[in-house]
Amino acid sequence: MASFSSIQPAAAQPPSATATSTHTSHLLSHHHHPDQLSLPSPPPPPSHRRLLRRPHCIRAIDAAQPYDYEAYLFNRFSQSSKLKIAVVGFGNFGQFLAKAFIRQGHTVFAHSRSNYHAVAQSLGAAFFTDPHDLCEQHPDVILICTSVISTESVLRSLPLQRLRRNTLFVDVLSVKEFPKNIFLQVLPHHFDVLCTHPMFGPESGKVTWQNLPFVFDKVRIGNEESRVNRVETFLDIFKKEGCTMVEMSCAEHDRYAAGSQFITHTMGRILEKLQLESTPINTKGYETLLNLVENTASDSFDLYYGLFMYNKNAMEQLERLDLAFEALKTELFGHLHEALRKQLFGKSEEGGHRRPMLAKLPKNGTPLLPPQSEAVANKNN
């Protein structure tokens, strides 16, 4: 037993010898008379030599140690790396995350607009209908998992005064600048703020989170060691599940996400409206489309609307999509038009007509149309 190893030599001696030796060493080291120093003293017996060199190394351990002392220490250590996490918004995604937290040994409290008592109980979480009761549990982390559009009202409804000062607030919203700004507006400065976005959901992360990106921005974290450690412990949950951890600013996230996630969801929803069906001759590409519909259609419309409404880059992406579709149609109809003219007018038309080419859109981030003044100036030249 490692915790006892440093005092084992003393334990090897009978109790009476231990007590005598301790007493002798004490006298030898502190209480001899100065006159006695000049007297040649006989060499100490071998059993006392070690005591002379290290007079205080022997301690009595006659008192019984608790038999489960090591287990107690182990529990204390593992508890120190566990968090009390309050999941606010216990819908589809909140429950999905809670399962992983509980699996890793963290304590989960849940709160939501609807009553999820039974669901929470089945997962091993405690459900609180009243946010006052939730906050009085003094969670280490408040995890906001509500729809984007309801986030501000939910946050404002929490009785912050019941929380411990410096509680860590985290969100998992699919847009990032919006919750960051709301947190900074609503939360007193003594609360910590971490904005995150797991780039997967209950469908895409059903089997594993291995190599799935997890974006985070440490927006406001106090300097104290315990606060820094708490954030790391929270992030560790996702590291342990195998996520690829990506630290980036909320603004950067929103720029990338509009061009990737919002476009993906939009295509999924367009295809859903087409009511695609599986056929006996599905190609791999078509299977991919069917999967896309399945992945995106299971998310709520609130989620999709949040991606559009609360990411300032989303509108530009929608316009680009429109332009790209128009350009593609123009190219197709141009080919058709040419074929028809050939049929009508024969070879005489050849070479006299240029086939329209698909216009490449300018890269993301460049304005789609020149500013008004420039356009007018060009016209006048």
Q: Helix, strand, or coil here: 153?
A: helix
* 70 class by beta-carbon count within 10 Å (0-12 exposed, 13-18 middle, 19+ buried): middle
**159 residue type, one letter:** P
Token pair recorded at residue 240: 């342990």
Residue 120 or 154: the one with the smaller Cβ distance to ligand NAP is: 154
Residue 145 or 163: the one with the smaller Cβ distance to ligand NAP is: 145
Residue 25 or 261: the one with the smaller Cβ distance to ligand NAP is: 261
Residue 191 or 262: the one with the smaller Cβ distance to ligand NAP is: 262
CB of 61 to ligand NAP, least distance (A): 55
Binding site for ligand NAP (CB under 6 A): 89-94, 112-114, 145-148, 150, 154, 172-174, 198, 201, 299-300, 302-303, 306
Query: 381: which strand partners?
Result: none
**274 residue type, one letter:** L
Residue 90 or 191: the one with the smaller Cβ distance to ligand NAP is: 90
Distances (CA, A) of 317 to 157, 200, 213, 305: 34, 21, 22, 14
Q: Are strands 84-88 and 141-144 parallel, antiparallel or unpaired?
A: parallel
Q: Helix, strand, or coil here: 217?
A: strand
Using CB positions, name the residue nearest to ligand NAP: 201
Q: In Å, how far from its chain's centre is CA 309?
A: 23
CB of 273 to ligand NAP, least distance (A): 20
Report how far residue 352's alpha carbon sits from residue 336's, in angstroms, rounded to the nearest whole number: 16
Q: Nearest to residue 265, comparing CAs of 239, 311, 304, 291? A: 304
CB of 187 to ligand NAP, least distance (A): 17
CB of 188 to ligand NAP, least distance (A): 22
Cβ–Cβ contacts within 10 Å for residue 337, how many? 14
Q: Nearest to residue 217, comparing CAs of 239, 244, 250? A: 250
Residue 10 or 148: the one with the smaller Cβ distance to ligand NAP is: 148
Report how far residue 141's alpha carbon sits from residue 216's, in angstroms, rounded to the nearest whole number: 15
Distances (CA, A) of 334 to 18, 215, 341, 354: 103, 44, 11, 9
Residues in the chain: 381
Residue 99 or 113: the one with the smaller Cβ distance to ligand NAP is: 113
CB of 1 to ligand NAP, least distance (A): 46
CB of 325 to ligand NAP, least distance (A): 26
CB of 308 to ligand NAP, least distance (A): 12
Residue 203 or 338: the one with the smaller Cβ distance to ligand NAP is: 203
CB of 175 to ligand NAP, least distance (A): 7
